[in-house]
Amino acid sequence: MAGELTQDQQMIVETARAFAQERLRPNASRWEEEGLDRAVLKELADLGFAGIYVAEEHGGSALTRLDAALIFEELSRGDISTAAFLSIHNMCAWMIDAFGNADQRAQWLPQLTSMEKIASYCLTEPGSGSDAGALRTSAKPDGNAHYVINGSKAFISGAGFSDVYVLMCRTGEDGPKGVSTVLVDDKTPGLSFGKAEDKMGWRAQPTAIVNFEECRVPAENRIGPEGEGFKYAMKGLDGGRLNIAACALGGAQDALDRALGYVKERKQFGKRIADFQNTQFTLADMETELSASRALLHQAARKLDAKAPDATKFCAMAKRFVTDAAFKVADQALQLHGGYGYLADYEVERIVRDLRVHRILEGTNEIMRVIISREMLKA
């Protein structure tokens, strides 16, 4: 990989890797019990990782999607849950930078890129998961200066923890054309949260339902014109899918690294486990799967950076292939640990649990197949 990267990108990798190994990896298991550490998120912001593709004038790093993939892979080698949460915050900041007006960028972005404020993304609803265009949360005008918001969002990372919620809500007709994007401050009366979900993985992140009951929000908090929100959400998903794939890749690489160390030390029947041909074949397949995943992910990121016409297809391909391969590799790493892999002390089981959701969110891998085939059939 190093030979394909610029000097600046190699420096980005080294910075993210050092932080992951020194600050994330030693604490990942503890954070499953204690939750996200705001101080660590602030440290990530100090490295420029809270506004990765936000313009420099508002405190961003103005990096590329490929740069982001490199960052999230390395951070996930330390803690998948924290890295994935950071990717969501970055998507929110990007949406404001890409589609907001000058006043909105000046107001919100410096607070987000410094992690003075943390952002969550609110699209999914209890009744509309993959069919996001059918969302029902409404924002009705109250005069010309405010919206009144009613509804709820499900599976929201950072619910009750974040300071601002980037909300996709219905301001017009049924379907995608009636969806708008509105920023909701956490101090807004009528905003409340359901109980924290007891999840299989990503346990460091708080996840809950976000409820909006007669939430009165200034109309100036709407990003872009009415009816453009669904387009913004879909544009954000290309990059989001790359980030989720990168996080899966980093987690799987950590699992492989742990398994490699284990089989070199552990002995059975008078031999190191690493000396058995079956182990060697398994390791070879794991390494090959991750190398192929990395190549496809980087290709998709370069296409998105170049605004290539087939970028959406490649982002979907990368998300589908990488997250499936990463979960398989992590599961094989657990198998190589034998019974010890099932114990929390060895941490591979945490990686397996964390990576399972990557095949579901940002569009399930079944939806990725729909997108890929649809783009193929257009040709």
Considering 116, 362, 366, 375, which one is annotated as catalytic? 362
Tokens 């080698």: give the residue. Answer: 77
| CA proximity to 73, closest of 358, 368, 365 | 358
Tokens 């990782």: give the residue. Answer: 49
Q: Tell me how far apart the terminal alpha carbons of the chain are, to the nearest angstrom.
A: 32
Distances (CA, A) of 72 to 85, 165, 240, 251, 372: 10, 22, 11, 10, 24
Is residue 193 within 8 Å of residue 209, measured between CB atoms? yes
| CA proximity to 137, closest of 108, 147, 186 | 147
- 316 phi/psi in degrees, rounded to 5: -65, -40
For residue 289, indicate whether it is catalytic.
no
DSSP state letters, 95-149: HHHHHS-HHHHHHHHHHHHTTSS-EEEE--BTTBSS-GGG---EEEEETTTEEEE
Measured at the CA of 353, the angle between CA 347 and CA 357, to 5 degrees, comes to 145
Residues carrying an active site annotation: 362
